[in-house]
Amino acid sequence: MSSDKRDPVKTICPYCGVGCGIQIQQGEEPGDVQFMPWGDAPVNEGRICIKGGAATEVVDHEDRLTDPLIEEDGEFREATWEEAYDRIVGELERIREEYGPDAMGFFGSSKTMNEENYLLQKIARRYGTNNVDNCTRMCHASTVWALRTSLGAGAMTNSMRDLREEADVFWIQGANPGEQHPIANSQYFRQAVLDGATVIQVDPHANKTTRSFGIDDTDRHQHLQLNPGTDIPLLNIVLKTILEHHEEHPEDGWVDEAFIEERTDGFDHLKETLADFDREAAAEECGVPLEDIELAAKKYASADNAAIFTGMGMSQHACGVDNVQNEINLALITGNVGRPGTGVNPLRGQNNVQGTCDVGAMPNVLPGYQLVDDDDSRAAVEEVWGFDVPDEPGLTNVELSHEFGESVHGLYVMGENPVMSEPDANRVAERIQQLEFMVVQDIFMTETAKYADVILPATTWAERDGTVTNTDRRVQRMRGVDKVHENTKHDLEILSTVGSRLFDADDFDFEDPEAVFEELRRVCPIYHGMTYDALGEEGLHWPCYEPGDEGDPYLYEEEFDTESGLGHIEGVSHQPPKETPDDEYPLILTTARLEEHYNTGTMSRRSPTLNRQTPENFVDVHPNDAERYGIEDGEDVVLKSRRGEITVQAQVTEDIKEGSVWTTPHFAAASANRLTNDVLDERAKIPEYKAAAAEIEVGIES
């Protein structure tokens, strides 16, 4: 061990998309890794939330996978890396020979770095398939689709810094930064509020965001507590209110006519869509007083700079693309795009979910969002790679899952846990057993790894170097300390070996992550101007087209990145959730995450500090529903949908609306995803996690 390895190294928190900088210091032994603040880290300036502070707790956890495992006669046995590689390469070759390349699927991971996801998608494409996807499909695929189609880039239009300094109104819909992006909330949004900004929160559930701004206590802020799945009618009320006011009072400038004329198309379609729209009926559908929505419309439209923040409450619906399109409509008709403090800003979940998409780990795009079915884009990438890329988009991860045992017979999983993260998880567990071969590379024995044929022990975030891209498009470097377990390998090394052996070629043979990044920037125009040196400690916001570019904190100052250069407006109409309450399942179930836990909890459930806060799942039930069912606060109940049931403790609270119930996906024994509906948005293929019909059964023996 070299002595400089024991100096603190600057890296990035492995949890959420805010991308906070932290330092880690290795003690006398590998695995003795301590967290240290990074005082002048570019995003968080030394501040940290409970997850970031506890992130090192899992690095040397006793559950770490330490050796390759191969399944034999229903048991896992330790294997050598040689055996594991031989089995993987042999099975991938067999599957391609027997069924063709589209019989394999590849799952990248937002928990791993840009270089690793880049290499995984390159393996998939050289294998001959575009069946490569990542968990953005489950969180913001619809947001990416709508933003890319209507504005140009599937990412935040602005940066957290310019939003803090310039935004007068924060319109936060279907997002809960107080819980899920704590440092963005406390350091950026709360600071703006202290400087006078107004918050309008649109969410069926009162939460830490509501409380952190004192939204309930002031006339300045508002919480519009709508029924789950009624975001389109609520925004249509806002849009129609603004348009009607503008007809009577054009001098107020609520509608930016010059911006619409010069920089957008589709405005007439929006007006036609709203011509016969009935605001009173829509407000009733939303369960929010009409005058409250009108007041919110006034606050947004009359602000100098108004910014929209959008989260999974918007994206995780079968109408997710239309939900986000309506936010785009609102921003465009009021001219709130293309300058600091404005825009439509998705708050991304994991620390590298943005980067995983940027580098092409998606079935329809190559690195830099170049469409696989665009001949010129494909040719540009093929020239660097030296092999042909299939020209049809592949299957998304839920589509792949639906095909397990049918047209899909093999799966390569890097750092994902679909048996818990996908909707209708009981069926996913059944289908995954129909695969002929699955390899999982991870740090723990996940719920998915239990069904694998080969398990490869990877290293943790703290042991590796590479880059990640945060929610406001800032690409930052991660730096690692020594490996904890000798026989584990970095994801990049594993992929490099698999690629080299599978294709008997040297174009997967890279010396280090920087060498991979150098190739990535040759095929990814928005990263082309970046180098490890240029990223330094501050990082750079993409797009960064040429060396020397400083990157763009906010987008679209002059024109949109669409074919016409115009921002696209398109009216949308209400589409109720695919499953609505009935006599058998009379409640609406909606889901979300907790501050102390993280997605399927593979890391956070093993972190003593985090797990202590909330060790088990629970369900929020409104007091009127609790009375109707005879539920006591703290009582165990069975929460059921058409797809399964979980036993959870009832938390009786007015945080949730009457008729709705709210629970979380983090806990293996009682995950919300045993209940959620796997119906998809037809364009973005994102599942409708946020609305399902449910029922509660009481009187459980505990």
Other C-beta atoms closer than 10 Å to the C-beta of 37 total 18
Closer CB to ligand SF4, 18 or 138, in the complex? 18
CB of 43 to ligand SF4, least distance (A): 8
Closer CB to ligand SF4, 24 or 648, in the complex? 24
Q: Print the binding letters for residues 387-426 with ligand SF4: x by CB under 6 A, - otherwise.
A: ----------------------------------------
Contact present, 114 and 475 (Cβ < 8 Å): yes
Tokens representing residue 21 in the block: 């900088």
Of the candidates 31, 51, 59, 571, which one interacts with ligand SF4 according to CB under 6 A?
Answer: 51
| 52 binds ligand SF4 per the rule CB under 6 A | yes
CB of 44 to ligand SF4, least distance (A): 6
Of the candidates 13, 163, 193, 456, which one interacts with ligand SF4 according to CB under 6 A?
Answer: 13
Give the list of residues 6+ apart from residue 359 with CB closer than 8 angstroms, or none: 114, 117, 118, 121, 367, 520, 524
Closer CB to ligand SF4, 182 or 551, in the complex? 182
Of the candidates 48, 163, 366, 684, which one interacts with ligand SF4 according to CB under 6 A?
Answer: 48
DSSP state of 336: -
Which residue minimizes CB distance to ligand SF4? Answer: 52
DSSP state of 221: -
Q: Print the binding letters for residues 276-315 with ligand SF4: x by CB under 6 A, - otherwise.
A: ----------------------------------------
Count of residues in the chain: 702
Which contacts (CB < 8 Å, 24+ apart) does range 183-186 have? Answer: 183/18, 183/20, 183/43, 183/44, 183/47, 183/48, 183/49, 183/52, 184/18, 184/160, 184/347, 184/471, 185/209, 185/212, 186/47, 186/49, 186/212
CB of 345 to ligand SF4, least distance (A): 16
Stretch near ligand SF4 under the rule CB under 6 A, chosen from 9-17, 168-176, 332-340, 496-504: 9-17
Stretch near ligand SF4 under the rule CB under 6 A, chosen from 47-55, 294-302, 312-320, 687-695: 47-55
Q: How far is CA 223 from the centre of its chain?
A: 24
Of the candidates 182, 204, 346, 466, which one interacts with ligand SF4 according to CB under 6 A?
Answer: 182
Of the candidates 167, 183, 498, 588, which one interacts with ligand SF4 according to CB under 6 A?
Answer: 183
Residue by residue, DSSP assigns 2-23 as -GGGGS-EEEE-SSBTT--EEE
Q: How far is CA 131 from the centre of its chain?
A: 19
Q: What is the gyration radius of the CA atoms in the chain, in angstroms?
A: 24
| 432 binds ligand SF4 per the rule CB under 6 A | no
Of the candidates 9, 24, 33, 49, which one interacts with ligand SF4 according to CB under 6 A?
Answer: 49
Secondary structure of residue 285 in the 3-state scheme: helix
Our CA angle for 482, 483, 487, nearest 5°, is 150
Stretch near ligand SF4 under the rule CB under 6 A, chosen from 59-67, 179-187, 354-362, 447-455: 179-187
Secondary structure of residue 558 in the 3-state scheme: coil
b/e burial code for range 121-136 (CB count within 10 A of at least 16 → b): bbbbbbbbbbbbbbbb
| 59 binds ligand SF4 per the rule CB under 6 A | no
Stretch near ligand SF4 under the rule CB under 6 A, chosen from 13-21, 273-281, 341-349, 574-582: 13-21
Footprint of ligand SF4 on residues 15-44 (CB under 6 A)? 15-16, 18-20, 44
Our CA angle for 29, 31, 36, nearest 5°, is 100
CB of 187 to ligand SF4, least distance (A): 9
Closer CB to ligand SF4, 51 or 96, in the complex? 51
CB of 253 to ligand SF4, least distance (A): 36
Q: Residue 200: name the closest of 284, 77, 85, 297 by CA.
A: 297
CA-to-CA distance for 237 and 261, rounded, in angstroms? 23
Secondary structure of residue 339 in the 3-state scheme: coil
Stretch near ligand SF4 under the rule CB under 6 A, chosen from 128-136, 176-184, 547-555, 674-682: 176-184
Closer CB to ligand SF4, 114 or 677, in the complex? 114
Contact present, 224 and 202 (Cβ < 8 Å): yes
CB of 176 to ligand SF4, least distance (A): 13
Q: Residue 306: name the closest of 314, 292, 296, 315 by CA.
A: 296
Q: Which residues bind ligand SF4 (CB under 6 A)?
A: 13, 15-16, 18-20, 44, 48-49, 51-52, 181-183
